[in-house]
């Protein structure tokens, strides 16, 4: 039996470099993960020696753009849609990851129990593990162990069951990530990585180990691999002993904070912040903690302090000023939002996202002529994005307020007659009626 190249990794971005190392290209990717990992949204720079622009949240993006991945099947945990119909959930979730092209958005359809369409112009599927499509030929099998965890970090599906659901796949390479970095994987569940590898390579042995380690208390046998001993200690809550046996079980303070924040345990995250030594990290994360818990004004103040006192690289400053601008708009401080966003645009010219945030600040300040110009620039910078249709609606409203009826009518006609999502067409029709009546509905 041919041995499949396999790599266990702490940082999921290593999958991209592993595929390049193997010289793989033009293959479907079966991505089994609670996260899509195709983000093209701004992210802060990090202290990586090589390719810092590639990280665990976006490594699939260059893999798709460079032709390593020819199509993508995203297998999600059953609980991720939260009871919502899969297609409706997909429309929203994809916008959390990237500036979705309008053509990709319009391509998405419910086909049986799967959502099918395109992403970045490539064939794309979203499904659950029992609905994986028949993938002919070699496949990149890519798994993140956070797939197995419920919102309360309970294991909802075993690696043994997932191995059964992927038994018909022929991997050209297998990549498995377990990420204590960033707080994605609690240390007691780190063992799911090597266990998943075993379930794929030797299903009967893998199931036996799963049944032993999943008992309460967890059981192991003397002849089992050494990683099972550290796993058992961690599962029993004896994390310090697990770290002594395997230092990889050690968790950094920043990762504990991020893990708590990711799970919306904001009070716990705030208490843990005192253990973070690096002042820059502490300030940034505290701002993010305030932002995610709806304390926008406090978030903006923290980030403004950081921006004024720390020397940041350009990429990080643009990211932080954009975040800060969003927080200030949410906090109804549009003049300050306009100031920091203008500085961001000076560093990142022709940036559609920053430009439309500037437009919204100008609307809030009743500077409608300026807002109209900013909206037009944002639309010009990114004409094919889904959010550009929403910007056209906002621009039409500004035109109506300025009394520029013909310009508003032209935009609304484009939206109603063109390929526009249904909910946006309804809004455009309502604005057309408002224009026709000459008064507010």
Every domain of the chain and the residues it spans: 6-250, 252-293
**1 has a pLDDT exceeding 50:** no
pLDDT at 433: 87
- 324/321 Cα distance (integer angstroms): 5
Report how far Cα 262 is from the mean position of its chain's Cα atoms: 12
- 296/331 Cα distance (integer angstroms): 5
Which of 12-16, 36-40, 237-241, 274-278 bottoms out in mean pLDDT, i.e. has the lowest? 274-278
CB 340 within 8 A of CB 323: no
CB 381 within 8 A of CB 352: yes
Q: What count of other Cβ atoms lies within 10 Å of the Cβ of residue 367? A: 16
**169 has a pLDDT exceeding 90:** yes
Q: CATH number for 6-250: choose from 3.30.450, 1.10.10, 3.40.50, 2.40.160.
A: 3.40.50
Element (H, E) at 274: none
CB 172 within 8 A of CB 139: yes
Beta bridge partners of 71: 28
CB 72 within 8 A of CB 115: no
pLDDT at 342: 98
Kindly report whether the peptide bond that precedes residue 300 is cis, defined as omega within 30 degrees of 0.
no
Average pLDDT over residues 251-266: 92
Average pLDDT over residues 106-118: 97
pLDDT at 2: 67
Report how far Cα 92 is from the mean position of its chain's Cα atoms: 12
Which of 75-79, 140-144, 362-366, 428-432 bottoms out in mean pLDDT, i.e. has the lowest? 428-432
| pLDDT level of residue 47 (50, 70, 90 thresholds) | low
- 437/382 Cα distance (integer angstroms): 32
CB 141 within 8 A of CB 166: yes
299's tokens: 């978030």
Q: Is the pTM of this model over 0.85?
A: yes
- 70/342 Cα distance (integer angstroms): 39
| pLDDT level of residue 279 (50, 70, 90 thresholds) | confident
| pLDDT level of residue 438 (50, 70, 90 thresholds) | low
Residue 178: closest CA among 90, 246, 128? 246
**138 has a pLDDT exceeding 80:** yes
Report how far Cα 102 is from the mean position of its chain's Cα atoms: 19
CB 171 within 8 A of CB 4: yes
Q: Strand runs (DSSP E) across 105-259, as ranges?
A: 109-111, 114-119, 122-127, 138-144, 170-177
- 387/379 Cα distance (integer angstroms): 9
Q: Strand runs (DSSP E) across 128-225, as ranges?
A: 138-144, 170-177
**417 has a pLDDT exceeding 80:** yes
- 102/385 Cα distance (integer angstroms): 5
Average pLDDT over residues 311-316: 88
Q: What count of other Cβ atoms lies within 10 Å of the Cβ of residue 154? A: 9
Residue 251: closest CA among 288, 276, 282? 276
**49 has a pLDDT exceeding 80:** no
pLDDT at 440: 45
CB 372 within 8 A of CB 394: no
| pLDDT level of residue 51 (50, 70, 90 thresholds) | low
Degrees, nearest 5: CA angle 323-328-334? 125
Please classify residue 22 by burial: count the beta carbons closer than 10 Å to its beta carbon, then call 0-12 exposed, 13-18 middle and 19+ buried. middle
Taking the alpha carbons at both ends of the chain, their separation in whole angstroms is: 70
pLDDT at 172: 98
Q: Kindly give, in sequence order, each residue whose CB lies less than 8 Å from that of residue 285, ignoring residues fewer than 6 positions away.
A: 254, 257, 258, 261, 269, 273, 276
pLDDT at 353: 95
Portion of the chain with pLDDT greater than 90, in percent: 87
pLDDT at 242: 96
Please give the C-alpha separations between residue 337 and each of 229, 245, 297, in angstroms, as whole numbers.
53, 50, 11
Please classify residue 73 by burial: count the beta carbons closer than 10 Å to its beta carbon, then call 0-12 exposed, 13-18 middle and 19+ buried. buried
pLDDT at 436: 78
Average pLDDT, the chain: 94
CB 420 within 8 A of CB 428: yes
Average pLDDT over residues 171-184: 94
- 261/286 Cα distance (integer angstroms): 10
Q: Write down the H helix ranges in 58-127.
A: 60-65, 86-95, 102-107
Give 380 or 438, the one with higher predicted confidence: 380
Q: What count of other Cβ atoms lies within 10 Å of the Cβ of residue 417? A: 10
Q: What count of other Cβ atoms lies within 10 Å of the Cβ of residue 399? A: 23
């Amino acid at each position: 039996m041919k041995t499949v190249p396999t790599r266990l990794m702490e940082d999921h971005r290593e999958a991209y470099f592993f595929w390049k190392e193997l010289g793989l290209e033009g293959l479907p990717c079966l991505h089994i993960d609670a996260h899509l990992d195709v983000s093209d949204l701004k992210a802060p720079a990090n202290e990586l020696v090589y390719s810092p622009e590639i990280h665990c949240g976006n490594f699939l993006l260059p893999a798709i753009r460079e032709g390593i991945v020819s199509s993508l099947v995203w297998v999600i945990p059953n609980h991720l849609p939260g009871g919502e119909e899969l297609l409706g959930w997909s429309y929203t979730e994809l916008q959390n990851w990237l500036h979705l092209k309008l053509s990709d958005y319009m391509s998405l359809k419910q086909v049986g129990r799967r959502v099918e369409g395109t992403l970045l112009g490539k064939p794309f599927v979203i499904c659950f593990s029992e609905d994986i499509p028949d993938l002919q030929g070699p496949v990149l099998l890519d798994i993140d162990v956070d797939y197995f965890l419920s919102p309360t970090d309970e294991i909802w599906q075993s690696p043994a069951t997932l191995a059964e659901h992927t038994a018909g796949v022929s991997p050209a390479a297998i990549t498995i990530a377990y990420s204590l970095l960033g707080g994605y994987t609690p240390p007691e569940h780190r063992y799911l990585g090597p266990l998943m590898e075993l379930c794929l390579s030797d299903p009967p042995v893998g199931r036996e180990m799963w049944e032993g380690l999943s008992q309460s208390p967890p059981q192991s046998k003397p002849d089992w691999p050494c990683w099972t001993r550290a796993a058992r200690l961690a599962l029993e809550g004896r994390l310090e002993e697990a770290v002594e046996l395997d230092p990889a079980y050690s968790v950094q303070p920043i990762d504990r904070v991020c893990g708590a924040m990711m799970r919306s345990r904001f009070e716990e995250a705030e208490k843990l912040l005192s253990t973070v030594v690096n002042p820059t990290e502490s300030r940034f994360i505290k701002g993010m903690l305030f932002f995610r818990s709806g304390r926008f004004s406090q978030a903006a103040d923290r980030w403004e302090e950081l921006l004024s006192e720390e020397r940041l690289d350009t990429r990080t400053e643009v990211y932080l000023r954009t975040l800060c601008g969003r927080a200030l708009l949410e906090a109804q401080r549009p003049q300050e939002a306009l100031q920091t966003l203008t500085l961001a645009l000076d560093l990142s010219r022709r940036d559609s996202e920053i430009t439309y945030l500037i437009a919204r600040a100008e609307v809030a300040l009743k500077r409608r002529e300026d807002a109209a110009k900013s909206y037009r620039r944002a639309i010009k910078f990114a004409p094919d994005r889904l959010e550009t249709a929403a910007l056209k609606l906002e621009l039409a409203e500004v035109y109506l307020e300025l009394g520029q009826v013909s310009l508003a009518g032209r935009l609304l006609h484009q939206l109603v007659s063109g390929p526009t999502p249904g909910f946006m067409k309804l809004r455009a029709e309502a604005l057309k009626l408002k224009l026709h009546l000459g008064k507010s509905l």
